[in-house]
Amino acid sequence: MDLVLEYRNLKRNFLESEFSHLNKEQKEAVFRVKGQVMVVAGAGSGKTTVIINRILNMLSYGNLYLDESVPKGLNHKLIYKMENVFEDKEKIEEIKEIEIDKINPENILAITFTNKSAKELQIRLEAKMGKQAKDVLASTFHSFCVRILRQHAEKIGFSNDFTIYDTEDTRKMIKECQRDLGIDDKVFPIKNNMSAISKAKDELVSHEDFKERHQTDFKFLQVSQIYEMYQTRIKYANAMDFDDLIFNTVLLFNSKPEVLKFYQDKFKYVMVDEYQDTNYAQHVLVSKLIGKNGNLCIVGDDDQSIYKFRGAVVENMLDFEKQYENAHVIRLEQNYRSTKNILIAANSIISNNSGRKEKVLWTDNPKGNKIKLHTAFSEHDEVNVIVNEIKKRISLGANYSDFAVLYRMSSQSNVIERIFSKSGIPYKMLGGVRFFERKEVKDLISYFNVINNTGDEIRLRRIINRPKRSMGDRTINLITSLARENNKTMYDVMKDFQSYPDLNRCCVKITEFLNVMESLIKSYKKGSSLVDLYHEILDRTKYIDFLQQENDEVDNRVSNIKELASAVARYEKESENPSLSGFLEEVSLEPDKNVDGNKKNATGEVVLATIHASKGLEFPVVFLPGFEEEIFPGIHCNFQPEDVEEERRLAYVAATRAKNELFILCATSRMIFGSTSHNRPSRFLSEIPEEIIVRTKSQEWTKVENEEKTSSSYDIRVKSVISARNFGVASNSIISQNMEDLKRDVFSPGEDIIHEVLGRGKIISVVPKEMDSLLEIDFEKFGTKRIFSRFAKLRRESLR
């Protein structure tokens, strides 16, 4: 055999044996470290294992597997030496003739979507490689951008100790901007404006460009005014919100090419996990970082792109090969999680999407049980079926932690929680209130923020009266106005209150507050530890006394105060270079959620979660209630094909959370948002092959027999309007108007009608109610609905 070929085979056989625990496609992803690589990782295909082993290979062997070079003076003696070393499983670097170009850990950047994932990646790398792996940067997008901005923020007009605003801080600032602009938040809701501004930043649209784009749209002109004022104010406060972190990093790279070049040279190997969930700004950031010919590996699954509502652009992944013509695509299709039947169901659903990378998951796991599809007669019956199935399996030795109930809408959890509690089923809900979002915790964190940055007006306003200092809204608004007029921060105005006669009446209160803050700032600047500073805040403000006076869950809130002390101490102990700004940064970017439940026991708790919250998790047994039209998919999807595809991806994610058993449930009648609907089963159910389904159905129920007769609905409604006059309920003019409305809105069973959203339907029954009628209508596309006549906006088919 040719010596060169023999050498390459020996080298590759060695590396194959080093990573023998991986399958063929996983090894391919691990060994291909140069160029642009897209790893399409199906659900349960071991993508985390691939990411970790890829970095381990880079640190230990670099590009050795695909490196075509050969040692100088290659001969039979070297081949023989290699064969002996490989048989003994010694490290390949002992053969000095072979040059291994290991990759410097400082040149590797691995971006994930959660701090938890980043920390787990770092821990697993260090467990395998020791201190060498410590220099690999495993980070979220936001943490990575903060790291850059802390070094270079002054180049774009901020100081490096800028504050990070959370969602609540942003809401408060936008509310103030609307108030000062005279924009009614009932006409232009704050939530909508926050969403519009966030979307603009995700798309890298500045407030100047936003205004230019929407000059003729009155609604967006109002938003552009808010956007402009909001950006002006947070910049003056030396603050950035979450969207700004990425927006401003891209701005920095665009405006300062030398900074971009520095980071391109530093991070020569970039990996990004969950790439299907990236938004436009994140995609641009990555593209700039690697340039045209950088080494980039993206990992993800377009079939699991379910965050469009957060700005995710699945095309970032779908168009990867268009952006990088020489990109190498590797598909991980072997699933290690689910049974064959569960994968058949999941594949069958997702195959109906057109905008996707072609792939078919397969497994060596057993065939397993068929998919159980149960039709209940109500949402209560649906949950009782789940309770019975759980209890049956618990009696056979299962643990409560083996089960998960995943639902499309968070509102579905209400009835589940109630029935679980009554039935004695212990549960925990994923995604409760963040620890750092709790009122008392936010108060004390706000003190830290103002000590770190006295220009942080949002946090300053929060703590002025926490504890109460008798400075009312009028005084705080006056200080705010003086700050705006004099181009100063609120804190500077308060320090110089003697220069403002209008503040004389509250000078004592201002002085008391300043004395506390100046003392704390002085301690911080003298080098006080964060733990000592924290206890000084409690001592100087008498905050715990204040909580006890409030008498609102005092014990729990004091416990949270103590837990915060532990969090500060942990940060100080675990951080190499602890600082106040570093702690605040960690708090701002920490996604950790509290988990609540009713009671615990030795066998754990059933997990309750939205499907979105369950992504990345797996459970032996999964229940999916509410598989009905208008719930899954929701009504907003029926006329938007791309939205239906997003919902189908969500159904695929839900199904692939199950390892052993999958229960899908729907109800023929469901009370939701205060009204009863009779929805058709979800269209996604018809996409599952019948041969892998076991169908069951609850017993039929008897309809309520005491409903009013439908034949004389007009007479009864007229009587109810007339009787209202006797009790002074309505004026004659109102009654007259209602009479006209009644005549116009009276419908009869059998009539064909058109609803402006639901389309064509036929009236089945009319039940008279006071001042109205409850119509039961069978819609062609959406099944049977019960809606009130006066608010239905119906028109007769004959009047089209």
pLDDT digits (tens, 9 = 90+) for 388-438: 999 999 999 999 999 999 999 888 888 899 899 999 999 998 865 667 888
pLDDT band, residue 517 (cuts 50/70/90): very high
* Cβ(273)–Cβ(615) below 8 Å: no
43 among annotated binding-site residues: yes
305 among annotated binding-site residues: no
Residue 718 has pLDDT above 90, yes or no: no
Window from 1-15, 112-126, 542-556 with minimum mean pLDDT: 542-556
* Cβ(161)–Cβ(453) below 8 Å: yes
Residue 712 has pLDDT above 70, yes or no: no
Among 273, 277, 661, 745, the one annotated catalytic? 273
Question: Which residues are CB-contacts of 208 (< 8 A; sequence separation ≥ 6)?
Answer: 228
Residue 708 has pLDDT above 60, yes or no: no
44 among annotated binding-site residues: yes
**Which has the closest alpha carbon to 655: 317, 349, 446?**
349
Q: How far is CA 782 from CA 644, 672, 755, 789, in A?
A: 15, 15, 11, 18
* Cβ(510)–Cβ(471) below 8 Å: yes
pLDDT digits (tens, 9 = 90+) for 593-636: 433 333 444 468 999 999 999 999 999 999 999 999 989 998 77
What amino acid is encoded at 766 in this protein?
Answer: V
47 catalytic? Reply is yes
Among 304, 363, 489, 710, the one annotated catalytic? 304
Window from 259-263, 643-647, 757-761 with minimum mean pLDDT: 757-761
Strand partners, 405: 608, 623
784 among annotated binding-site residues: no
Among 243, 274, 389, 772, the one annotated catalytic? 274
88 catalytic? Reply is no
From CA 386, how far away is CA 451, in angstroms rounded? 52
Please report the pLDDT score of residue 216 as a whole number. Answer: 84
| DSSP 3-state of 372 | strand
Window from 446-450, 466-470, 500-504, 796-800 with minimum mean pLDDT: 796-800
772 catalytic? Reply is no
* Cβ(112)–Cβ(138) below 8 Å: yes
Q: How far is CA 208 from CA 32, 57, 194, in A?
A: 43, 47, 17
Among 459, 657, 659, 785, the one annotated catalytic? 657
pLDDT band, residue 759 (cuts 50/70/90): confident
pLDDT band, residue 29 (cuts 50/70/90): very high
41 among annotated binding-site residues: yes
Please report the pLDDT score of residue 449 as a whole number. Answer: 94
797 vs 525, more confident: 525
pLDDT digits (tens, 9 = 90+) for 138-149: 999 999 999 999
Among 11, 27, 47, 469, the one annotated catalytic? 47
Please report the pLDDT score of residue 761 as a whole number. Answer: 87
274 catalytic? Reply is yes
Among 34, 48, 308, 495, the one annotated catalytic? 48
From CA 753, how far away is CA 745, in angstroms rounded? 12
**Which has the closest alpha carbon to 435: 260, 301, 570, 322?**
570
Q: What structural domains and CATH numbers belong to the chain?
A: 3-144+253-332 (3.40.50.300), 340-433+596-697 (3.40.50.300), 435-589 (1.10.486.10), 713-799 (2.40.10.170)
Question: Which residues are CB-contacts of 312 (< 8 A; sequence separation ≥ 6)?
Answer: 276, 277, 278, 279, 305, 306
From CA 116, how far away is CA 615, in angstroms rounded? 14
Please report the pLDDT score of residue 367 as a whole number. Answer: 97
From CA 39, how far away is CA 41, in angstroms rounded? 6
pTM (predicted TM-score): 0.79
Please report the pLDDT score of residue 737 as a whole number. Answer: 42
47 among annotated binding-site residues: yes
> pLDDT above 70 covers what percent of the chain?
87
